[in-house]
């Protein structure tokens, strides 16, 4: 089974949103043989659920929101995952320091042909719920490319 780990800062906004969207899209498309997880580079939010604003945006779009507890990514998780997808270049730098030999790292926006290369997904935590809707749009725009890569990993 392939594993894809989405990573953001605290694992309460962007990365669990991407995890939930990826699960939903994979299920809808009948893609099996892959596990989607998420984590953060920080321990600030350990044990916390998905941010309430992210939960509302995800639920309105038809995605699941329950059962999440934030955790910090480990070097072992990075090495064992088939693909680790960071939300910002800052997260990539953290992941590279954590696992310098990792060759499975990417930015979410790498999978969106309409995104500016290296741009990353802005952190919605500091703003209103509309920022979370923007995060969802960015995640969904990248999802066809993410799932293409996942298919390559599972065949």
Catalytic residue, chosen from 13, 14, 20, 112, is 14
Residue 25 falls in which region: left (phi positive, over 0), alpha (psi -120 to 50) or beta: alpha
Instruction: Reply yes or no on whether 28 is catalytic.
Output: no
| Other residues' Cβ atoms within 10 Å of the Cβ of residue 25 | 19
Whether the per-residue pLDDT at 50 is higher than 90: the answer is: yes
Beta bridge partners of 7: 39, 86
The four Cα atoms 10, 64, 144, 128 give a dihedral, to 10 degrees, of -50
Residue 18's pLDDT is what?
Answer: 98
The mean per-residue pLDDT over the stretch 85-90 comes to: 98
4 in helix, strand or coil? Answer: strand
Tell me the three state secondary structure of residue 115: coil
Give the rounded distance of the alpha carbon of 125 from its chain centre: 15
User: What would the two tokens of residue 110 be?
Assistant: 């790498």
pLDDT at 140 over 90: yes
Domains of the chain, first to last: 2-154 (3.40.50.2300)
pLDDT at 155: 82
Cβ neighbours, 10 Å, residue 96: 14
82 as an active site residue: the answer is no
- Tokens at residue 48, please? 């916390």
User: Is the per-residue pLDDT at 137 higher than 90?
Assistant: yes
**What would the pLDDT profile of 62-84 be if each residue is shown by its tens digit?**
999 999 999 999 999 999 999 99
Q: Which among 8, 13, 110, 112 is annotated as catalytic?
A: 8
The yes-or-no answer on residue 8 being catalytic is yes
pLDDT for position 104 = 98
Q: What is the pLDDT of residue 128?
A: 93
Please pick, among 56, 72, 123, 149, the residue that the annotation labels catalytic.
123
Say if residue 98's pLDDT is above 90.
yes
* Whole-number average pLDDT of the chain: 97
Residue 48 burial by Cβ neighbours in a 10 Å radius (0-12, 13-18, 19+): middle
**Is 131 in contact with 122 (CB distance < 8 Å)?**
yes
The two tokens of residue 82 are 């088939």
Average pLDDT rounded to a whole number, residues 23-37: 97
Structure tokens belonging to residue 129: 């719920």
| pTM of the entire predicted model | 0.98
């Amino acid at each position: 089974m392939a594993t894809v780990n989405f990573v953001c800062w605290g694992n309460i906004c962007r990365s669990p949103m991407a995890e939930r969207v990826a699960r939903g899209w994979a299920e809808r498309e009948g893609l099996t043989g892959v596990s989607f997880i998420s984590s953060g580079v920080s321990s600030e939010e350990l044990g916390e659920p998905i941010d309430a604003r992210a939960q509302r945006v995800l639920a309105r779009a038809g995605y699941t929101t329950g059962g999440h507890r934030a955790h910090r990514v480990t070097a072992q998780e990075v090495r064992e995952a088939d693909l680790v997808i960071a939300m910002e270049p800052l997260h990539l730098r953290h992941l590279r320091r954590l696992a310098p030999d990792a060759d499975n790292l990417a930015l979410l926006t790498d999978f969106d042909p309409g995104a500016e290369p290296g741009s990353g997904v802005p952190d919605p935590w500091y703003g209103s719920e509309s920022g979370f809707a923007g995060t969802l749009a960015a995640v969904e725009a990248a999802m066809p490319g993410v799932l293409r890569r996942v298919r390559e990993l599972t065949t």
